[in-house]
A and B are shown apart, each in its own frame.
Chain A
């Protein structure tokens, strides 16, 4: 479904010279499920995700080398089947929750793709699924951070994307809300199967959510480790303390330490 082929990204350094942030990433994802991109903050993982979403940092050619393909076709801009959820949720403060979720239907592309009657149905269903049906008429300022992120998530899922790209979506939330959101995401993916690529610097989050975990080295980002987790979600506290989970965690941390600088988080 989505492939990265020899992707390299370089940025011009402010003082001159070139900084390579991503180096030779090959990756192919075709089955629904959650793939975690785990790496230290600033390692270039968001850059990789943005390439997959076709979100181009202004004024820089991306990728510098290689290509991103969706269904075998080179992908140079935003793709209808790939939708991104940002850490800063980008909800419009002047619109209600319902209007925010229905926002894509203001755009010509989705108005022509989804008939009006189905639009409302989809919005109602997804509001129910993210648990905001009773808050549909409120405005973002009246919601908590977690609820705002639910709005952003609903706005993405209302388009029924085949690829959902999440850029540290829960990074700004407190520990308890983050846990709730992780559970919610896992339920949502159950109900709306799609390829999820989830960027995080939180080792515990990667182990809780990932069907597959890609550990990235830092500056430039390369795939340092790549493994599968078979345990079904939700993953209990007991499983997290199991030998299997602890070994995985150690394996990840060792890998990250080997690659040097940068910050990761292990939440308990």
Chain B
């Protein structure tokens, strides 16, 4: 039992994982079924399921509120993720590759990891208005302050032998970074991007809190206003599901791209 290096076979692992979920669901069913908690605070699982179906397809209007919301949120996360990769990764690499760049930029980046990024939202609204650019900028900022330090650390974690040996072979300092250090850091940089995109998902409801016409966050705040807790729960589960799918897909792509990664 108490062995952190124990090799667990896939079946046992799945059984234990599913078991925990079943236990939580069971407790939830009991709480709701026996009316131990008011449905206003905790809707029953079946109510959440009903809400999910209700949101998934509206026969009167002939449209899917949940589908539209998911598409909107997904595209915001995706655009912010592209920005994240285009801006955060290069800055992180430059900081990792030069102690000077790092010394100059880290006071601008590192403190924001513990800054209340949500408090920045009103400022962004002032600067950028209440449209898409504000929401995407918020998602981007919320995640990039985590991404940059992680990318920097990934570059720094490459053993110095690679840099030294490339320099000795006649590489310029920049060539050594480009051809010897960065390629070695890529798997960990990819991990950092995956974590940063996961962080974006946690911020999506906040980003869509202000003036969203459509989106999962909007769906939730709308439902909350009408005390439709079952719909709030349904939307939370959809976000968790989407985050999980994104994570799994990105991990699979990373494993394919960097199949040589050393343990």
Contact with A along B229-262 (1 / 0, CB 8 A): 0000000000000000000000000000010111
In the assembled complex, how far is the CB of residue B105 from the closest CB belonging to chain A, in whole angstroms? 20
In the assembled complex, how far is the CB of residue B162 from the closest CB belonging to chain A, in whole angstroms? 5
Q: Complex Cα distance A187/B183, Å?
A: 34
Q: Find out whether the CB atom of B169 lies under 8 angstroms from the CB atom of A159.
A: yes
Please choose the segment from B4-12, B28-36, B171-179 that sits at the chain A interface, where 4 or more of its residues have CB less than 8 A away: B171-179
Measured between beta carbons, the chain B residues less than 8 angstroms from A159 are 169-170
Contact with A along B152-186 (1 / 0, CB 8 A): 00000001111011111111100100011001101
Measured between beta carbons, the chain B residues less than 8 angstroms from A20 are none
Q: Complex Cα distance A149/B13, Å?
A: 40
Q: Complex Cα distance A107/B174, Å?
A: 10
Q: Say if the beta carbon of A83 comes within 8 Å of chain B.
A: yes
Q: Find out whether the CB atom of B260 lies under 8 angstroms from the CB atom of A139.
A: yes
Q: Find out whether the CB atom of A141 lies under 8 angstroms from the CB atom of B170.
A: no
Q: Complex Cα distance A156/B258, Å?
A: 26
Give the residue name and chain of the A residue nearest to B257 (CB).
Answer: A94
Q: Find out whether the CB atom of B170 lies under 8 angstroms from the CB atom of A90.
A: no
Q: Complex Cα distance A84/B205, Å?
A: 55
Q: Find out whether the CB atom of A108 lies under 8 angstroms from the CB atom of B165.
A: no
Q: Complex Cα distance A64/B30, Å?
A: 77
**Most chain-B CB neighbours within 10 Å: which of A58, A90, A92, A106?**
A90
The A71-109 residues at the B interface (CB cut-off 8 A) are 78, 80, 83-84, 86, 88, 90, 92-94, 103-104, 106-109
Give the residue name and chain of the A residue nearest to B262 (CB).
Answer: A93
Q: Find out whether the CB atom of B179 lies under 8 angstroms from the CB atom of A106.
A: yes
Q: Find out whether the CB atom of A84 lies under 8 angstroms from the CB atom of B175.
A: no
In the assembled complex, how far is the CB of residue B104 from the closest CB belonging to chain A, in whole angstroms? 19
Q: A106-B179, A107-B175, A108-B175 are in contact. Are A92 and B184 (CB under 8 A)?
A: yes
Cross-chain contact of A83 among B168, B172, B179 (Cβ < 8 A): B168
Q: Find out whether the CB atom of A107 lies under 8 angstroms from the CB atom of B165.
A: no
Q: Complex Cα distance A80/B165, Å?
A: 13
Give the residue name and chain of the A residue nearest to B174 (CB).
Answer: A108
Q: Complex Cα distance A93/B171, Å?
A: 19
The A148-207 residues at the B interface (CB cut-off 8 A) are 155-156, 159
**Most chain-B CB neighbours within 10 Å: which of A80, A104, A106, A107?**
A107
Q: Find out whether the CB atom of A141 lies under 8 angstroms from the CB atom of B175.
A: no
Q: Find out whether the CB atom of B170 lies under 8 angstroms from the CB atom of A107.
A: yes
Q: Say if the beta carbon of A33 comes within 8 Å of chain B.
A: no
Give the residue name and chain of the A residue nearest to B170 (CB).
Answer: A109
Cross-chain contact of A88 among B159, B183, B184, B261 (Cβ < 8 A): B159
Q: Complex Cα distance A79/B50, Å?
A: 73
Q: Find out whether the CB atom of A92 lies under 8 angstroms from the CB atom of B171.
A: no
Q: Find out whether the CB atom of A86 lies under 8 angstroms from the CB atom of B179.
A: no
Q: Find out whether the CB atom of B170 lies under 8 angstroms from the CB atom of A94.
A: no
Measured between beta carbons, the chain A residues less than 8 angstroms from B183 are 92, 94
Q: Complex Cα distance A93/B161, Å?
A: 13
Q: Complex Cα distance A94/B175, Å?
A: 17
Measured between beta carbons, the chain A residues less than 8 angstroms from B162 are 90, 92
Q: Say if the beta carbon of A63 comes within 8 Å of chain B.
A: no
In the assembled complex, how far is the CB of residue A214 from the closest CB belonging to chain B, in whole angstroms? 22
Contact with A along B93-132 (1 / 0, CB 8 A): 0000000000000000000000000000000000000000
Q: Say if the beta carbon of A55 comes within 8 Å of chain B.
A: yes
> A interface vs B, CB < 8 Å?
53-55, 58, 78, 80, 83-84, 86, 88, 90, 92-94, 103-104, 106-110, 139, 141, 155-156, 159
> B interface vs A, CB < 8 Å?
159-162, 164-172, 175, 179-180, 183-184, 186, 258, 260-262
CB pairs A–B below 8 angstroms (18 shown): A55-B167, A58-B160, A78-B169, A84-B165, A88-B161, A90-B161, A90-B166, A92-B180, A93-B184, A103-B166, A103-B169, A106-B179, A107-B179, A108-B172, A108-B175, A109-B170, A110-B169, A159-B170
